[in-house]
């Protein structure tokens, strides 16, 4: 059997932008859509989780990065640059290796999860810690890319959106149609833009061929309460949340996110850090799916809408969980009360082990 060939080759016919580009790939995409048994029962709908943590560098960014890096290679670029809360930099660093380019990453001081930082360093990226927020990092990265021979690979690069829209195609391929509702976290708002583009394109194609969606879902986006500029209607100067991935005060694709919300009759709402960490616990302990806190915002949003009585009975709902739990594992080491969970210490003895496991009185 042939293995999955990465999103550019798998969806070549729907990525006209990439047509003549050399393909820079690590085999991204083809991630599982997992039926969430506990959540489905709880909210009275058919809930699926799109597990994007299973991409090569552990986040959905790889879908966009294969496209952005392939376009950069096509243009003869020797270097790429990005601003990042961590995942984009991990992905850019890895794909730059594959493309034989150098990679500069700008990250906000002190707010990057350890796993993501380790990835950028392991892949030899030039790491700049900026004395400012993610939004400041993006401003600087854009200016550098304007004035110097280096390609910007943030989601303001149209190739990123093209690559990321393939997640919507995969969902439609598995379900046989688009879901009724799609939940996802919103940070810089590239991903909600990309999914909406993918769903719209599939619905537009449905008229002339099989295998496409007959409808588009409502897009339900969720920001963290302390970093919810779109919900509040104005930029947030000092965004703050445990979900460092989405700690963004002035999203680059703000306008596109509003379009996705309004054209789909969807919503963009805020979830608190408490709700995010509770959802993080639910999805790991009830579904067996380990995600980073930023990713749990989609699940937190689903649970919040359920608590409000706003989940249509029997609806098909997809929640994207965007990054792997191993990126930022510290949150899993605490219980619901915020206490550190310690393993039970035992001597080298089977009966004691059995007793500790409740197998023996």
* Strand-pair category, 316-321 with 181-185: parallel
- Which stretch, 12-20, 71-79, 174-182, 290-298, contacts ligand F0G (CB under 6 A)? 290-298
**CA dist., res. 23 & res. 31, Å (int):** 19
Q: Does residue number 187 form part of the binding site for ligand F0G (CB under 6 A)?
A: yes
- Which stretch, 10-18, 80-88, 229-237, 335-343, contacts ligand F0G (CB under 6 A)? 80-88
Residue 156 in contact with residue 193, Cβ under 8 Å?
Answer: no
Residue 230 in contact with residue 257, Cβ under 8 Å?
Answer: yes
* Strand-pair category, 33-35 with 46-51: antiparallel
Does 250 appear as a known binding residue?
no
Q: Does residue number 323 form part of the binding site for ligand F0G (CB under 6 A)?
A: yes
Residue 293 in contact with residue 243, Cβ under 8 Å?
Answer: yes
Q: Compute the least distance from the CB of residue 43 to ligand F0G, in Å.
A: 21
Nearest to 56 by CA among 23, 22, 93: 93
Nearest to 161 by CA among 50, 22, 260, 56: 260
> Of residues 133, 155, 241, 256, which one binds ligand F0G by CB under 6 A?
155
Q: Compute the least distance from the CB of residue 56 to ligand F0G, in Å.
A: 15
Instruction: Restricting to residues 223-282, name those near ligand F0G by CB under 6 A.
Output: 245-246
The three-class DSSP label of residue 64 is helix
Q: Which two tokens stand for residue 28?
A: 């991204």
Q: Binding mask 112-151 vs ligand F0G (x if CB under 6 A, - otherwise)?
A: ----------------------------------------
Residue 70 in contact with residue 23, Cβ under 8 Å?
Answer: yes
Smaller CB distance to ligand F0G: residue 218 or 322?
A: 322
> Of residues 55, 70, 85, 256, which one binds ligand F0G by CB under 6 A?
85
Q: Compute the least distance from the CB of residue 167 to ligand F0G, in Å.
A: 11
Count of residues that interact with ligand F0G, criterion CB under 6 A: 22
Angle between helices 190-205 and 254-263 (to 10 degrees): 40
Q: What is the dihedral of CA 176, 181, 186, 192, to 10 degrees?
A: 50
Smaller CB distance to ligand F0G: residue 181 or 245?
A: 245
Q: Compute the least distance from the CB of residue 306 to ligand F0G, in Å.
A: 21
> Of residues 66, 157, 264, 322, which one binds ligand F0G by CB under 6 A?
322
* Sheet strands side by side (includes 126-130): 126-130, 102-108, 79-83, 151-152
Smaller CB distance to ligand F0G: residue 145 or 212?
A: 145
Q: Does residue number 96 form part of the binding site for ligand F0G (CB under 6 A)?
A: no
**CA dist., res. 236 & res. 239, Å (int):** 6
Smaller CB distance to ligand F0G: residue 170 or 212?
A: 170
Q: Compute the least distance from the CB of residue 1 to ligand F0G, in Å.
A: 31
Does 322 appear as a known binding residue?
yes
Q: Does residue number 189 form part of the binding site for ligand F0G (CB under 6 A)?
A: yes
Residue 234 in contact with residue 243, Cβ under 8 Å?
Answer: no
The contact set with ligand F0G (CB under 6 A) reads 59, 61, 84-88, 155, 185-191, 245-246, 292, 294-295, 322-323
């Amino acid at each position: 059997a042939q293995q999955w060939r990465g999103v550019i080759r798998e969806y070549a016919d729907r990525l006209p932008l990439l047509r003549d580009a050399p393909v820079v790939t690590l085999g991204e995409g083809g991630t599982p859509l997992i039926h969430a048994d506990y959540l489905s029962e709880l909210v009275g709908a058919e809930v699926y989780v799109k597990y994007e943590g299973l991409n090569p560098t552990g986040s959905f960014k790889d879908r966009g990065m294969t496209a952005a890096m392939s376009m950069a290679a096509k243009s003869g670029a020797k270097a790429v640059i990005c601003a990042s809360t961590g995942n984009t930099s991990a992905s850019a660093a890895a794909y730059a290796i594959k493309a034989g380019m150098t990679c500069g990453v700008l990250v906000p001081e002190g707010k990057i999860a350890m796993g993501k930082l380790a990835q950028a360093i392991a892949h030899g990226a030039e790491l700049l810690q900026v004395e400012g927020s993610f939004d400041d990092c993006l401003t600087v990265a854009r200016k550098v890319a304007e004035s110097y021979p280096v390609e910007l690979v943030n989601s303001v690069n149209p190739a990123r959106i093209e690559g990321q829209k393939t997640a919507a195609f995969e969902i439609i391929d598995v379900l046989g149609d688009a879901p009724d509702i799609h939940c996802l976290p919103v940070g810089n708002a590239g991903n909600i833009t990309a999914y909406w583009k993918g769903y719209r394109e599939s619905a537009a194609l449905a008229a002339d061929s099989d295998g496409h969606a007959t409808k588009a879902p409502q897009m339900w986006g969720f920001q963290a309460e302390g970093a919810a500029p779109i919900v509040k209607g104005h930029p947030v100067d000092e965004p703050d949340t445990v979900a460092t991935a989405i700690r963004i005060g002035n999203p680059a694709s703000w306008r596109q996110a509003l379009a996705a919300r309004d054209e789909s009759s969807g919503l963009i709402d805020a979830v608190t850090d408490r709700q995010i960490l509770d959802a993080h616990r639910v999805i790991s302990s009830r579904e067996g799916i380990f995600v980073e806190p930023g990713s749990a915002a989609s699940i937190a949003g689903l649970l919040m809408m359920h608590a409000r009585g706003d989940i249509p009975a029997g609806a098909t709902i997809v929640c994207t969980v965007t990054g792997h739990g191993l990126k930022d594992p510290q949150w899993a080491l605490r219980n619901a009360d915020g206490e550190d969970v310690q393993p039970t210490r035992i001597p080298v003895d089977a009966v004691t082990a059995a007793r500790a496991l409740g197998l023996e009185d």
